[in-house]
Structure 1
Amino acid sequence: MKKYNFKDSKVIKEIDLLKNLHSWSAQGNLDPIVVEKAKGIYFWDSNGKKYFDMSSQLVNVNIGHGNMKVIEAIQEQAEKMTYMGPGFAVDVKSELASKLLDIAPKNMKKVFFTIGGADANENAIKMAKMFTGRDKIFSRYRSYHGATYGAANLTGEPRRFPAEPGIPGFIKFFDPYLYRSPVDFKDEEEACNYYLEQLTEQIIYEGRDSVAAIFLETVTGSNGVIIPPENYLKGVREICDEFGILMVCDEIMAGFGRTGEWFACDNWGVVPDLITFAKGITSGYLPLGGVLVSQDIADFFNDTTLMCGLTYSGHPMGCAAGIATLDVYQEEGLIKNSKLRGKVLGEELELLKEKHPSVGDVRYIGLFSAIELVKDKVSKEPLVPYGQDPGKIMPLILSKLIKQGFFTYTHENIIIVAPPLIIKEEEIKEAMQIMDRVLSEVDEMLK
């Protein structure tokens, strides 16, 4: 076996490019940052350069990097028991399930643990079909639910295309994306009614007795932090009740304080039938996800075999990390902090929108926000066409941000801003000064 000096950053990058495949990338033009350490809301590269982690990596490191409470919990569990099969009762699995159900909507009664978000959605699809005896699954065009085969079919945006032709029975509908709506609504209520009526009509055309579930990212994540109109989710709940359809809230990105509440659905007082979760449950310290199910669904599987199984379901190490992470949220007041610091972030975003011709819209809830870039504020023409970026404009903008120490990611014509929930007011303002400078460069590009 050939030996390499993995203390040398040049070797690390060379071997990474030679031997690893990177997600969502053409492999030939990659230039990954070699990261040396991470702490709090920052990480440092091998040259000692510091970056604001303004996307919490993949909107998952909610409690920030290097939290010792979680690290010590992982160490303690590793010494006690690293693994036990999912058929056993283990203390940390029972404790985490109990803690989760304490903070979840009150109709949630049981948990099925998974490895991450995609397989949480995979198993929620199967549960919905088994419970209802129906075949069709509705989800929205501007959605991302994972890259495994079922979750990719559930996904609405272009990352679903490699999984097509797909599984029969996956139906897409339009989100209430008011900024890009073809209809000029007089107010939010009119818009809400329009999209709910469209959804009802589509269900009828698809066969009202054939639809098992409607899946929604409670707040659409990577596809633009699209926040639903005030009564939209309640309206979807009523439609589901009318037609005997299960309402599934994908809270993988929006859960665990990201929107200023434990779960995003709490912002609107909506009670879904299933909730899928991952990311913030361990803040990325270890892989873990799951499905929360209502009393009715839990009761159904008392007599019906649950045809779901994973080798690593309820993994003790992940559960130990999850317990400690939930404790950190509570002990450090991070749910409240998300709401308070979210107001500061919102104010900064509104200033950017007012100042920069390239900023068409900003959307924010808690510490979950997006900046939508346009060629023209009046026409709202996107800076890059949907699903295309032939001039590589968005990667160029992203590289300018990263060069100045502002790390995040983009999708379509949108820049995501979702820092760890531990961020301070002065840190938000300092980081957004970088954004301001880069957006000024984007403005110049439009001239």
Structure 2
Amino acid sequence: MSTQPQQQATAQPDPAVGAAVKAADRAHVFHSWSAQGLIDPLAVAGAEGSYFWDYDGNRYLDFSSGLVFTNIGYQHPKVVAAIQEQAGKLTTFAPAFAVESRSEAARLIAERTPGDLDKIFFTNGGAEAVENAVRMARLHTGRAKVLSAYRSYHGATAAAINLTGDPRRWPSDTASAGVVHFWAPFLYRSPFHARNETEERDRALQHLEDTIAYEGPGSIAAIILETIPGTAGIMIPPPGYLAGVREICDRYGIVFILDEVMAGFGRTGEWFAADLFDVVPDLMTFAKGVNSGYVPLGGVAISAEIAATFETRPYPGGLTYSGHPLACAAAVATINVMAEEGIVGKAADLGARVLEPGLREIAERHPSVGELRGVGAFWALELVRDRETREPLVPYNASGEANAAMAAFGAACKKSGLWPFVNMNRTHVCPPCTTSEAEAKEGLALLDAALNVADEFTV
């Protein structure tokens, strides 16, 4: 039986405190990805399990898991206790030393990574993990270029933002990082005019081969892919695609990097999404679900061959807080809780038995739903104006009035008590992996009602 506490009533409303929190935020906090004068952040009073609430007493069922990181839900008592215990024992220590929580976190992660990815380099988050994975690949191969996909997100630091394949890259893209973008498979909006998954896979692999040929195989250090792209749309790669990329990398001596920052640690119903496809990369980045974001932590899982490159040659990279004891203690507790409570299996069951059938029923009822995609606790609804033409409900990278349909849909979700993950013309369904069947069905009913608003914008 889960040790997750029963959802308690929200704290007594205290609008005065909420107003003070909001005022201080607006006066002093500079928010990411935002025009500062155009945002109105919700003041959060507390959270537990799959819910959070504000100071006015409004409670929200979180179908976004924060930014898809609270895989074990909010305030799991065993993880909170582990952080408290570690703080009482050793709050912080420099990364050059062997520390119990750091060593144990690395051991537990290495036990679960595929293949021989048994060395763990710790970072503070996913973007830093990508930065260091790319640096390792370049140093290991002596090459400079890195290939990454359009419709991807890899982080907001210097190299990671260049690798990113969505519009967040544009303002910061210096075009000087040796990055080349290519099209990964996505049958619903196929860039290859494919009619089925087999054609999409084969044509996407041929396109990648052609890109490598024209860029020069001997100049390419790495190919990086999100195993299952997250923010970009949860596009499940067709069977055989990732294995095909693995073969191409082997043939040309290119390092294969899988970004599991969002898809890892149970989100897909496996410890890592790579396990769904029976593929082993050379480097794998992780963050988010490794400790459900309780304390910032990320890292790179490194193959034996690449680790050997730095056996007697120093690795020229590091972070003051690499393997921070509090963060690692949270990771140890999270991984143990996931194992003890069967949370990975619960995510698989939640997806197969509740989310997928429920979402399919919803999709059939609403003309605004063009496609459903996903696995485990990781789903996306592609919203369209016209199912026949597949015209998106809002234009690519829409803002202001052009984004009115998605804004109205999102507002309807929040008004009903559902907190959605909305990006461009999609809503993602990514509740905590610990979400109960009753909670999931509650969320699906609220989503179903909110989609009536999206339907009003269809033709």
Q: Which residue of 1 aligns with 2:411?
A: 399
Task: Kindly state the Cα deviation for residue 233 of structure 1 after the two structures are TM-superposed.
Answer: 0.4
User: Aligned to 2:268, which of 246, 259, 269?
Assistant: 259
Q: Secondary structure at the match of 1:108?
A: coil
User: Aligned to 1:421, which of 411, 433, 451?
Assistant: 433
After superposition, where does 1:168-247 map in structure 2 within 5 Å?
168-247=177-256
The residue type paired with residue 361 of structure 2 is L
Instruction: List per-residue Cα deviations over 1:217-244 (Å, max 9, x = no partner).
Output: 0000001101100110000000100110
The residue type paired with residue 163 of structure 1 is S
Task: Kindly state the Cα deviation for residue 182 of structure 1 after the two structures are TM-superposed.
Answer: 4.2
Task: Kindly state the Cα deviation for residue 265 of structure 1 after the two structures are TM-superposed.
Answer: 0.4
Q: Give the whole-Å Cα distance in 1 for the aligned partners of 2:158 and 2:411.
A: 31
Determine whether 1:379 maps to 2:397: no
Q: Which residue of 2 aligns with 1:431?
A: 443
Q: Which residue of 1 aligns with 2:3?
A: none
Q: Which residue of 1 aligns with 2:20?
A: 11
Q: TM-score, normalised by structure 2?
A: 0.95
Determine whether 1:360 maps to 2:353: no
Contact 2:294–2:330 (Cα < 8 Å) also in 1 = yes
Q: Secondary structure at the match of 1:291?
A: strand
Contact 1:57–1:408 (Cα < 8 Å) also in 2 = no
Q: Taking structure 1 as reference, are residues 183 and 141 closer, same or farther at Cα in structure 2, changes over 3 Å only? A: closer
Contact 1:6–1:12 (Cα < 8 Å) also in 2 = no
Task: Kindly state the Cα deviation for residue 17 of structure 1 after the two structures are TM-superposed.
Answer: 1.0
Q: Give the whole-Å Cα distance in 1 for the aligned partners of 2:457 and 2:272.
A: 39
Structure 2: unaligned runs, 5 residues or longer: 1-13
Q: Secondary structure at the match of 2:118?
A: strand
Determine whether 1:389 maps to 2:415: no
Q: Which residue of 2 aligns with 1:98?
A: 107
Q: Which residue of 2 aligns with 1:114?
A: 123
Q: Secondary structure at the match of 1:373?
A: strand
Task: Kindly state the Cα deviation for residue 7 of structure 1 after the two structures are TM-superposed.
Answer: 6.7
User: Aligned to 1:319, which of 322, 328, 339?
Assistant: 328
Contact 2:393–2:457 (Cα < 8 Å) also in 1 = no
Q: Which residue of 2 aligns with 1:346?
A: 356
The residue type paired with residue 381 of structure 1 is E
Contact 1:51–1:406 (Cα < 8 Å) also in 2 = yes
Instruction: List per-residue Cα deviations over 1:110-151 (Å, max 9, x = no partner).
Output: 000000001000111100000000000000110010011111
Q: Give the whole-Å Cα distance in 2 for the aligned partners of 1:321 and 1:183.
A: 44
Q: Which residue of 2 aligns with 1:41?
A: 50
User: Aligned to 1:370, which of 380, 383, 386?
Assistant: 380
Structure 1: unaligned runs, 5 residues or longer: none
Q: Give the whole-Å Cα distance in 2 for the aligned partners of 1:155 and 1:444.
A: 33
Instruction: List per-residue Cα deviations over 1:183-215 (Å, max 9, x = no partner).
Output: 443421121000000000100100011100000
Q: Give the whole-Å Cα distance in 2 for the aligned partners of 1:284 and 1:226.
A: 24
Q: Which residue of 1 aligns with 2:6?
A: none
After superposition, where does 1:262-301 map in structure 2 within 5 Å?
262-301=271-310
Instruction: List per-residue Cα deviations over 1:385-419 (Å, max 9, x = no partner).
Output: 11223423222221211111110221111111100
Q: Taking structure 1 as reference, are residues 77 and 359 closer, same or farther at Cα in structure 2, changes over 3 Å only? A: same
Contact 1:408–1:416 (Cα < 8 Å) also in 2 = yes
Q: TM-score, normalised by structure 1?
A: 0.97
User: Aligned to 1:331, which of 340, 344, 352?
Assistant: 340
Contact 2:246–2:279 (Cα < 8 Å) also in 1 = yes
The residue type paired with residue 297 of structure 1 is I
Determine whether 1:408 maps to 2:417: no
Q: Secondary structure at the match of 1:374?
A: strand
Q: Give the whole-Å Cα distance in 2 for the aligned partners of 1:370 and 1:6.
A: 34
Q: Secondary structure at the match of 2:154?
A: coil
Q: Give the whole-Å Cα distance in 1 for the aligned partners of 2:296 and 2:420.
A: 21
Which of 281-290 and 388-397 deviates more?
388-397
Which of 24-33 and 229-238 deviates more?
24-33
Determine whether 1:446 maps to 2:439: no
Q: Secondary structure at the match of 1:128?
A: helix
Determine whether 1:139 maps to 2:148: yes
Q: Which residue of 2 aligns with 1:32?
A: 41
Q: Give the whole-Å Cα distance in 2 for the aligned partners of 1:369 and 1:416.
A: 6
Q: How many residues end up aligned between the 2 structures? A: 443
Contact 1:150–1:167 (Cα < 8 Å) also in 2 = no
The residue type paired with residue 319 of structure 1 is C
The residue type paired with residue 379 of structure 2 is S
The residue type paired with residue 372 of structure 1 is E
Q: Give the whole-Å Cα distance in 2 for the aligned partners of 1:445 and 1:111.
A: 48
Q: Give the whole-Å Cα distance in 2 for the aligned partners of 1:130 and 1:165.
A: 22
Q: Give the whole-Å Cα distance in 1 for the aligned partners of 2:385 and 2:195.
A: 25
Contact 1:17–1:30 (Cα < 8 Å) also in 2 = no
Q: Which residue of 2 aligns with 1:166?
A: 175
